[in-house]
């Protein structure tokens, strides 16, 4: 199979046909090994049709090829231009994946001589066509600590609050934290269990994982690496940037604009992610995080991508019509929810031309079905 993978990389006109879905997990794993050994520090970026396919591929690769490093980047679990935020668990998985990729892209992470395991980055059409915060933002928003190190407790609590963690009396769910004297419990977004920081003064004396149900210690840890839960932060500079960009895009702010008011006050707002570009100086794409990656696609990705772009356009047009209708009724009583002010699709998503350019060097779709009247050998 290694010979086939090498041939597929060398001659991208070759196709894999007439095999069931599932076998492509073995091909992807072998491609990752060949890419890591012959092309240098090059991962595989595979775009699946949908979330279900991504999950299935991740399970299959993990089972058949445990030597492969798998990074999964899911899409938001909400519609374009929705009024609700993505689920916290989805955001946690996305930020964990983006943090990993952002660190790998740093020059110091690419030094010769360091081992680089075969890697497959799995994502979906919805995630690959969506713009994301820059690598500089993601890599700069973390909090690391080691046993024996001094910790600024106020800085840690401020980081947790800015990064989307919520304070609780007892930590039981990912994204929660609690403080009781010299003990700080945190449930990292991408961890299976919460951790307990035992401070002696301002020094981290012990770091332990514990069961969220029994609250009993399950093991000792040496270090902690926290990532944000959200794709934006509510720091003073970010709030100023949002306020300025909001006015630039939508004009003067009306008296009743809950989104603008909440962000101005440093409060979280349901669905604020759909104005994500206003929080950042620069947005990037998943392809920016993985320059030079070997790109592979699920079968029917082009058709599914076409439907995705059509859906984005339709939802945006619907929001524009609703906003225009609300604005035309000047005498209408103020509703509980403000008119939705949608950003142009190009600010949130790749344009179709950009998408096609990104796919120019993709390998053939895996697995490609047999053409009509063809019998497999």
The string of DSSP letters for 46-57 reads EEESSHHHHHHH
> For the chain, what is the domain count?
2
77/63 Cα distance (integer angstroms):
26
Contacts of 322 (CB under 8 A, 6+ apart): 339, 340
- pLDDT (tens digit per residue) in 31-64: 999 888 877 778 999 999 999 999 999 999 999 9
Predicted local distance difference test score (pLDDT) of residue 147 = 93
Co-location of 60 and 124 in the same domain = yes
Nearest-angstrom CA–CA distance, 275 and 21: 37
199 & 317 share domain: no
Rounded to whole angstroms, how far apart are CA atoms 134 and 112?
A: 25
* Residue 128, both tokens: 């690959």
15 and 125 together in one domain: yes
CATH of the domain at 206: 3.30.2060.10
- Who has greater pLDDT, 254 or 187? 187
- Among the candidates 160, 191, 226, a domain finishes at 226
Based on the fold, state whether residues 86 and 182 are members of the same structural domain.
Answer: no
Is residue 20 located within the same domain as residue 126?
yes
Are 163 and 289 members of one domain? no
Tokens describing residue 260: 């603008």
Lowest mean pLDDT among 182-196, 233-247, 329-343: 329-343
> Does 205 share its domain with 302?
no
Return the higher-pLDDT residue of 268 and 350. 350
Q: How much is the mean pLDDT over the chain?
A: 85
Looking at the domain assignment, is residue 86 inside a domain? yes
Are residues 182 and 201 located together in one domain of the fold? yes
The helix (H) or strand (E) run that includes residue 120 is: strand 119-124
For residues 289, 60, 10, 46, the Cα torsion angle rounded to the nearest 10 degrees is -30
Q: Is residue 278 one of the residues assigned to a domain?
A: no
Q: Are residues 127 and 36 part of one domain?
A: yes
Asked if 132 and 10 sit in the same domain, the reply is: yes
Tokens 């775009």 correspond to: 47
182 and 121 co-located in one domain: no
Query: At CB < 8 A and 24+ separation, what contacts does 158-166 make?
Result: 159/226, 160/186, 160/226, 162/228, 162/233, 162/234, 162/235, 163/226, 163/227, 163/228, 163/229, 163/230, 163/233, 164/88, 164/91, 164/228, 164/229, 164/230, 164/268, 165/229
226, 246, 276 — which closes off a domain?
226
pLDDT in tens, 166-219: 889 999 888 889 999 889 999 987 788 999 999 999 999 999 999 999 989 999
d(C-alpha 115, C-alpha 198), whole Å: 34
Residues 199 and 147 in one domain: yes
Closest CA to 292 of 140, 113, 166, 104: 104
Query: Is residue 5 within a helix (H) or strand (E), and if so which, with residue range?
Result: helix 2-10
254 domain residue, yes or no? no
Q: Indicate whether 114 belongs to any domain.
A: yes
Whether 172 maps to a domain, the answer reads: yes
Residue 255 falls within a domain, yes or no?
A: no
Residue 178: which domain range?
Answer: 143-226
Contact 160, 186 (CB under 8 A): yes
Asked, for residue 258, whether it belongs to a domain, the answer is: no
246 part of a folded domain: no
Q: Residue 157: what are its φ and ψ, rounded to 5°?
A: -65, -40
| pTM of the predicted structure, to 2 decimals | 0.83
Q: What CATH code is carried by the domain that includes residue 128?
A: 3.40.50.11180
């Amino acid at each position: 199979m290694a010979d086939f993978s090498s041939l597929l990389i060398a001659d991208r006109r070759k196709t894999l046909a007439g095999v069931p879905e599932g076998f492509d997990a073995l091909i992807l794993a072998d491609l990752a090994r060949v890419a890591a050994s012959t092309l240098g520090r090059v991962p595989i970026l595979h775009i699946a049709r949908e979330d279900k396919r991504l999950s299935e591929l991740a399970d299959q690769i993990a089972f058949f090829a445990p030597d492969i490093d798998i990074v999964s980047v899911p899409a938001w679990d909400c519609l374009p231009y929705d009024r609700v935020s993505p689920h916290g668990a989805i955001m946690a998985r996305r930020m964990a994946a983006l943090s990993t990729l952002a660190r790998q892209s740093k020059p110091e992470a690419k030094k010769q001589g360091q081992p680089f395991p075969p890697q497959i980055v799995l994502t979906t059409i919805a995630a690959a066509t969506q713009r994301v915060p820059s690598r500089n933002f993601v890599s700069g928003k973390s909090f690391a600590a080691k046993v024996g190190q001094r910790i600024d407790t106020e800085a840690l609590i401020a980081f947790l609050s800015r990064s989307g963690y919520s304070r609780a009396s007892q930590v039981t769910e990912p994204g929660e934290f609690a403080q009781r004297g010299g003990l700080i419990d945190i449930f990292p977004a991408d961890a299976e269990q919460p951790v307990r920081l035992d401070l002696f003064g301002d020094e981290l004396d012990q770091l332990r994982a514990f069961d969220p149900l029994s609250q009993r210690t399950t093991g000792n840890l040496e270090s902690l690496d926290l990532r944000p839960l959200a794709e934006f932060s509510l720091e003073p500079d970010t709030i100023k940037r949002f306020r300025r960009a909001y006015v630039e895009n939508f004009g003067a702010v009306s008296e009743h604009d809950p989104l603008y008011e909440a962000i101005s006050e440093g409060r979280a707002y349901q669905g604020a992610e759909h104005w994500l570009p206003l929080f950042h100086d620069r947005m990037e794409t998943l392809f920016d995080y993985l320059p030079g990656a070997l790109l592979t696609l699920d079968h029917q990705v082009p058709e599914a991508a076409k439907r995705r772009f059509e859906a984005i356009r339709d939802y945006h047009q619907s929001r524009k019509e609703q906003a225009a209708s609300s604005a035309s009724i000047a005498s209408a009583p103020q509703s509980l929810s403000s008119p939705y002010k949608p950003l142009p699709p190009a600010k949130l998503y790749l344009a179709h031309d950009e998408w096609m350019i990104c796919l120019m060097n993709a390998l053939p779709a895996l697995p490609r079905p047999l053409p009509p009247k063809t019998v497999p050998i």
